Homo-oligomer: A and B are copies of this chain.
Amino acid sequence: MLGAIEAGGTKFVCAVSDGDFSSIDRIIIPTQEPADTMAGVYAFFQQYAITALGVGCFGPIDLDPGSSMYGFIRSTPKLAWRDFNILGAIRDRFNIPIAFNTDVNVAAYGELQRGAAARGINSCIYITVGTGIGGGVIIDKHIINAVNHPELGHISVKRYPTDSFAGSCPYHKDCLEGLAAGPSLAERCQGDPRHLPANHALWHMEAYYLAQAIVNYTLVLSPDKIIIGGGVMQQPRLMAMIKKSFMEQMNGYVNIKDVDNYIVSPQLKNDAAIIGGLIMAQELVGNGNCHRAPAERRSLSHDG
Assembled-state Cα–Cα distance A254/B301 (Å) = 27
Cβ of A252 within 8 Å of any chain B Cβ, yes or no, is: yes
Check if B216 sits within 8 Å of A155, measured CB to CB. Answer: yes
Cβ of A238 within 8 Å of any chain B Cβ, yes or no, is: no
In-complex Cβ contact of A302 among B154, B157, B301 (8 A): B301
Interface positions of A from 136 to 188, Cβ below 8 Å from B: 137, 139-142, 144-152, 154-159, 171-172, 174
**A 111-122 to B, binary, CB cutoff 8 A, 1 in contact else 0:** 000000000001
Check if B158 sits within 8 Å of A159, measured CB to CB. Answer: yes
Cβ of A299 within 8 Å of any chain B Cβ, yes or no, is: yes
Given A144-B139, A157-B158, A299-B140: A150 touches B253 (CB 8 Å cut-off): no
Check if B159 sits within 8 Å of A159, measured CB to CB. Answer: yes
Q: Chain B residues with Cβ under 8 A from A35's Cβ?
A: none
Cβ of A298 within 8 Å of any chain B Cβ, yes or no, is: yes
**A 292-303 to B, binary, CB cutoff 8 A, 1 in contact else 0:** 000000110111
Check if A251 sits within 8 Å of B171, measured CB to CB. Answer: yes
Q: Chain B residues with Cβ under 8 A from A49's Cβ?
A: none
Assembled-state Cα–Cα distance A150/B223 (Å) = 10
Check if A219 sits within 8 Å of B150, measured CB to CB. Answer: yes
**Looking at chain A's contact residues, is the secondary structure mostly helix, strand, loop, or mixed?**
loop
How many A residues, CB 8 Å from partner? 45
Q: Which of A159, A221, A299 has the most CB of B within 10 A?
A: A221
Q: Chain B residues with Cβ under 8 A from A222's Cβ?
A: 144-151
Assembled-state Cα–Cα distance A221/B253 (Å) = 22
Check if A254 sits within 8 Å of B151, measured CB to CB. Answer: yes
Cβ of A224 within 8 Å of any chain B Cβ, yes or no, is: yes
Cβ of A249 within 8 Å of any chain B Cβ, yes or no, is: yes
Check if B219 sits within 8 Å of A152, measured CB to CB. Answer: yes
Check if A140 sits within 8 Å of B302, measured CB to CB. Answer: yes
Question: Can you name the residue of chain B whose Cβ is closest to the Cβ of A148?
Answer: B222
Check if A302 sits within 8 Å of B141, measured CB to CB. Answer: yes
Q: Chain B residues with Cβ under 8 A from A159's Cβ?
A: 158-159
Check if A139 sits within 8 Å of B139, measured CB to CB. Answer: yes
In-complex Cβ contact of A150 among B150, B171, B220 (8 A): B220
Assembled-state Cα–Cα distance A304/B212 (Å) = 36
Smallest CB separation, A61 vs chain B (Å) = 13
7 of the cross-chain contacts (CB-CB < 8 Å) are: A140-B142, A142-B302, A144-B221, A150-B219, A156-B158, A158-B158, A302-B302
Add 7 more A-B contacts to A171-B253, A301-B302 (CB < 8 A): A122-B299, A137-B221, A146-B223, A151-B254, A171-B252, A172-B251, A220-B221
